[in-house]
């Protein structure tokens, strides 16, 4: 047993959490995964990297409708839509989408940094007018923080992004609200915790559980391949400290990113980890191991709404210390009725916590 753990704590009830970073995909994959997120999260910031990406108010509205239509009946879940920044999108589109209450935030993918990012921003200088507009109207910027220069080692891409892109961007736009998504390094932790309150970071469950060895344990393991890639153990430890620190600049964002088995098991396997079915339980495991279960609620349900200026949820969710074996796979039914597998994070493992289904 790890120190600080209270063995008598068998149950924890927290305000209902939100997921501040999720990929719900579209089509049959959307139908297979959305209920998993809506199972425990009341709101979720939905990433716009579909093919084609969400770059207009109309496509964001259509996507939101598809998400709502794919939910189980009676399910109360609010998707918060994002717009995908490109070199050519007009500031007027951002302003219009924000004024209509459609765009909750805008997502910056450096071109070719991750899944479906080829339409992303090729040079940060190209989007200065967009950033000026966002700063003025209060539209938050969500960042996939990695440089894409092939000469930069993949394990250094986040740290180099912070130095060369993020720092100058924040000093050019001091009033812009920015979230550095799915941070993976000690450098990111230090940078965010010493920055102004306009900068926050999300942390995924998988980056709290695995280091980069997971991708190479006993063979090439694409199930643990995500972007940004997991880093060395010292970074994982820094992320665990940050998530459980009680600092409001760090909050939940699962980056649950489902890919069909056939897209993972290929000579060019896709990046992404599908954690939605057990995301909250996976975080609970970490907070428990760190002796910080009393800080789970703030991380999961309070710091996100505070950063975004939204009300806290009023419902609650209860976790019980009842072990659960995570399914080895879920299934997705394609339009042609063929069935494909979808592997969740922790597949086949036993987690100590379960969400109590009322």
Burial (Cβ within 10 Å: 0-12, 13-18, ≥19) of residue 232: middle
Position among 18, 255, 288, 302 found at the interface with Zn ion (CB under 5 A): 255
- Minimum CB separation of residue 6 from Zn ion in Å reads 34
Q: Of the ranges 12-20, 245-253, 255-263, 274-282, which one interacts with Zn ion (CB under 5 A)?
A: 255-263
d(CA 39, CA 277): 8
> With respect to Zn ion, which residue has the nearer C-beta, 158 or 255?
255
Pattern 214-253, Zn ion, x by CB under 5 A: ----------------------------------------
- Within 13 Å of residue 213, how many CA atoms lie on the same side as its CB? 10
- Identify whether the C-beta of residue 195 lies closer than 8 Å to the C-beta of residue 170: yes
d(CA 240, CA 226): 18
> With respect to Zn ion, which residue has the nearer C-beta, 79 or 292?
79
> With respect to Zn ion, which residue has the nearer C-beta, 79 or 288?
79
d(CA 159, CA 34): 32
19 given a catalytic annotation? no
Catalytic residue among 18, 19, 255, 288: 255
Tell me the CA distances in angstroms from 294 to 286, 288, 298, 308, 355, one per residue in order.
Answer: 12, 9, 8, 23, 16
- Minimum CB separation of residue 45 from Zn ion in Å reads 10
> With respect to Zn ion, which residue has the nearer C-beta, 165 or 257?
257
- Minimum CB separation of residue 112 from Zn ion in Å reads 15
Q: Does 146 bind Zn ion (CB under 5 A)?
A: no
User: Pick from 93, 84, 76, 74: which is nearest to 121 by CA?
Assistant: 84
Q: What is the sign of the dihedral through the CA atoms of 40, 244, 215 and 319?
A: negative
**Binding footprint of Zn ion, residue count (CB under 5 A):** 1
Tell me the CA distances in angstroms from 305 to 196, 243, 312, one per residue in order.
Answer: 17, 16, 6
> With respect to Zn ion, which residue has the nearer C-beta, 198 or 256?
256
Select the residue whose beta carbon is closest to Zn ion and give its number: 255
User: Pick from 195, 111, 198, 186: which is nearest to 149 by CA?
Assistant: 111
- Minimum CB separation of residue 143 from Zn ion in Å reads 11
| Residues numbered 270-289 forming contacts with Zn ion, rule: CB under 5 A | none
In the sheet that holds 78-84, the strands lie side by side as 19-22, 43-46, 78-84, 103-108, 141-143, 178-180, 199-203, 250-252
- Minimum CB separation of residue 273 from Zn ion in Å reads 10
User: Pick from 104, 99, 134: which is nearest to 21 by CA?
Assistant: 104
User: Pick from 329, 340, 242: which is nearest to 287 by CA?
Assistant: 242
> With respect to Zn ion, which residue has the nearer C-beta, 119 or 255?
255
- Minimum CB separation of residue 227 from Zn ion in Å reads 8
Q: Of the ranges 27-35, 77-85, 165-173, 254-262, which one interacts with Zn ion (CB under 5 A)?
A: 254-262
Known catalytic residues are 255
The residues binding Zn ion (CB under 5 A) are: 255
């Amino acid at each position: 047993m790890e120190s600080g753990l209270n063995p008598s704590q068998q149950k924890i009830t927290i305000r209902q959490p939100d997921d501040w970073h999720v990929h719900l995909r579209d089509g049959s994959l959307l139908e297979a995964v959305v209920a998993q997120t809506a199972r425990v999260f009341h709101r979720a910031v939905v990433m716009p990297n579909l093919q084609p990406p969400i770059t207009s108010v109309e496509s964001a509205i259509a996507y939101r409708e598809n998400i709502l239509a794919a939910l189980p009946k009676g399910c109360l879940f609010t998707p918060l839509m994002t717009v995908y920044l490109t070199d050519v999108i007009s500031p007027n589109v951002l302003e219009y989408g924000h004024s209509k209450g459609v765009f909750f935030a805008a997502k910056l993918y450096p071109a070719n940094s991750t899944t479906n990012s080829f339409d992303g921003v090729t040079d940060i200088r190209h989007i200065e007018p967009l950033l000026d507009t966002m700063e003025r109207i209060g539209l938050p910027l969500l960042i996939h923080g990695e440089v894409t220069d092939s000469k930069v080692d993949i394990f250094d891409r986040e740290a180099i992004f912070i130095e060369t892109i993020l720092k100058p961007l924040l000093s050019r736009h001091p009033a812009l609200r920015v979230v550095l998504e799915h941070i993976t390094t000690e450098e990111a932790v230090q940078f965010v915790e010493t920055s102004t309150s306009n900068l926050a970071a999300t942390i995924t469950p998988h980056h709290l559980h695995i280091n980069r060895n997971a991708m190479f344990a006993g063979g090439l393991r694409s199930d643990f391949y995500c972007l940004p890639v997991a880093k060395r153990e010292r970074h994982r430890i820094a992320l665990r400290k940050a998530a459980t620190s009680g600092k409001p600049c760090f909050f939940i964002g699962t980056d649950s990113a489902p890919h069909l088995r056939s897209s993972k098991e290929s000579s060019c396997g896709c990046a992404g980890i599908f954690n939605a079915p057990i995301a909250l339980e996976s975080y609970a495991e970490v907070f428990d191991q760190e002796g910080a279960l009393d800080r789970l609620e703030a991380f999961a349900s309070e710091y996100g709404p505070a950063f975004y200026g939204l009300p806290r949820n009023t419902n609650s969710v209860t976790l019980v210390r009842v072990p659960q074996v995570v399914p080895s796979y879920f299934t997705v039914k394609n339009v042609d009725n063929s069935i494909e597998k979808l592997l969740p994070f922790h597949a086949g493992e036993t987690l100590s916590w379960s969400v109590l289904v009322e």
